[in-house]
Amino acid sequence: MRVITGTAKGRRLETLEGADVRPTTDMVKEAVFSVLQFNLPGRCFLDLFAGSGQMGIEALSRGAREAYFIDGGKRPIDVIKKNIEATKFQDKAKVINTEAASFLMRTNESFDIAFLDPPYGTGVLQETLPLVAAKMNKGGIIVCESPQNEELPAKIDNFILDRNYRYGKIKISTYCHEEVTEE
């Protein structure tokens, strides 16, 4: 796993080992950032269910102002911290070891871009989406990675499903604020 482009281009990132680990592939990561490329500079990025932190690190490498890395596991948090240190983004990264819902209910922060990649088939994505939508800025974008057959709502609060992209067995869904999509 590596940083694809930007200031940390080519840096190798650590990942967790194990059967339940499912890092976002380079192909899917490249596709996500192709969608986001003009929306990243100067923005606040939320990497929810961060795992290794690769998505938030890629966002920082491509010009995001800051990134929040949220994960409920101690092992992922240790890996995220190592990867942030290796890419020298300590001054732009906030790493928080807590469950996603707990973080979203407590934080006063608002976000421009949120990336959600929770464990597949658990219902956590559907439960978390309304909490994320409540913390998004009006011009924000919510990006979800899920299995192709997982149903996602057409609307969450003021955010509507904009597009679905399919990559093998993986689906990337983007949500935009309804007022922004109507303009």
Residue 19: pLDDT above 90? no
Is 97 inside a domain boundary?
yes
Cβ–Cβ < 8 Å for 84, 90: yes
Is 42 inside a domain boundary?
yes
Is 3 inside a domain boundary?
no
Please state the pTM of the whole predicted model: 0.92
Is 133 inside a domain boundary?
yes
Give the C-alpha distances (Å, rounded to integers) separating 76 from 19, 24, 80, 85, 172: 14, 14, 6, 14, 22
Length of the chain: 183
State the chain's mean pLDDT as an integer. 90
Nearest to 116 by CA among 22, 48, 51: 48
Which tops the pLDDT comparison, 35 or 93?
Answer: 93
Task: Summarize pLDDT for 83-140 with one digit per residue, the tens.
Answer: 999 999 999 999 999 999 999 999 999 999 999 999 888 889 999 999 999 999 988 9
Residue 182: pLDDT above 70? no
* Sign, Cα dihedral of 86, 87, 93, 98: negative
What's the structural domain count of the chain? Answer: 1
Give me the domain span that covers residue 55.
26-182
pLDDT band at 21 (very low <50, low <70, confident <90, very high): low
Is 128 inside a domain boundary?
yes
Can you tell me the mean pLDDT for 54-83?
96
Is 1 inside a domain boundary?
no
pLDDT for position 168: 87
What is the distance between the alpha carbons of residues 172 and 142, in angstroms, rounded to a whole number? 10
Q: Strand, coil or helix: what is 44? A: strand
We report the CATH number of the domain holding residue 86 as 3.40.50.150
Is 9 inside a domain boundary?
no
Is 16 inside a domain boundary?
no
